[in-house]
Structure 1
Amino acid sequence: MIIANFGTDNVGVFLGYANGIFSNQTIFSTGHHSRPYSVAAGYFNNDSYLDIAVANYGTKCISVLLGYGNGRFANRATYSTGTTFPYTINVGDFNKDNRQDLVVSGQGTENIGILF
């Protein structure tokens, strides 16, 4: 389970156990004043390890944290959303190339963004 921690500029990851119990939260930074609002999980680099995408409302960017498959993640890569304050992010294969893409909506424009 992944939680966007808006007030503390990070995401929390809780690993699930087979008995329905979750681990303690492991924190991953999303950057100073990032104010993460929404998260999505997917396979963004096709290595079969879950990755995290974060809509950072405070810094007008998307962060991607690539997973190592052991509950740990690489340092974030960031992608600007221009003048848009992103607040929702979702995963799908929007161009039908068998690779997961991101769709982002935000405040400040009447547009959505798709990252292929």
Structure 2
Amino acid sequence: LFIAGVIIGVILGTKSKTTKYVCEKPFQLSDPFNTGKYPSSSVLGYFDNDTYLDIAISNSLENSVTLLLGDKEQIFRTTRPATGDAPSSMVVVDLNNDTKIDLVVTNTVGK
């Protein structure tokens, strides 16, 4: 019984201690992006066919879609492609099998 107690004591004594990580440099605020009025949907994708993630945001009250194109500096360039009235939802898919993603936007108002 004494040997079992020594073995358990040795095993428990060699157990690694829990490491406590302290964030010394918390996230800093970045410059805000103007995404338009009443953003209603967003999707992620590689819209400019590079290796940096981009963000598409539909703006219902502004009748626009904002594309935030990422780069290696993690800075986003803003562009606004043409869209219909009151874009509400989006999906990213390769519609024509050209290995490039396509952005499909649905509108709640049509002409």
Give the fraction of aligned pairs with identical amino acids, expressed as a percent: 37
Query: What value does the CA root-mean-square deviation take over the aligned residues?
Result: 2.5
Alignment of 1:50-69 (within 5 A): 50-69=53-72
CA contact (8 A) 1:46 1:99 kept: yes
CA contact (8 A) 1:90 1:104 kept: yes
Structure with greater helix share of residues: 2
Structure 1 length normalisation: TM-score? Answer: 0.63
**How far apart, CA to CA, are the structure 2 residues paired with 1:72 and 1:50?**
11
Larger radius of gyration: 2
Structure 2 length normalisation: TM-score? Answer: 0.66
**How far apart, CA to CA, are the structure 2 residues paired with 1:62 and 1:90?**
12
Q: Deviations over 1:79-112 (max 9, x none)?
A: 2323x200111111111100010011121139xx
Q: Which residue is 2:89 aligned to?
A: 88
Alignment of 1:16-27 (within 5 A): 26=30, 27=32
Where does the alignment leave 5 or more consecutive residues of structure 1 unmatched? 1-22, 111-116
CA contact (8 A) 1:36 1:55 kept: yes
The count of corresponding residues between Structure 1 and Structure 2 is 86
**How far apart, CA to CA, are the structure 1 residues paired with 2:65 and 2:40?**
10
Shift of 1:25: 6.8
Q: Which residue is 2:79 aligned to?
A: 77
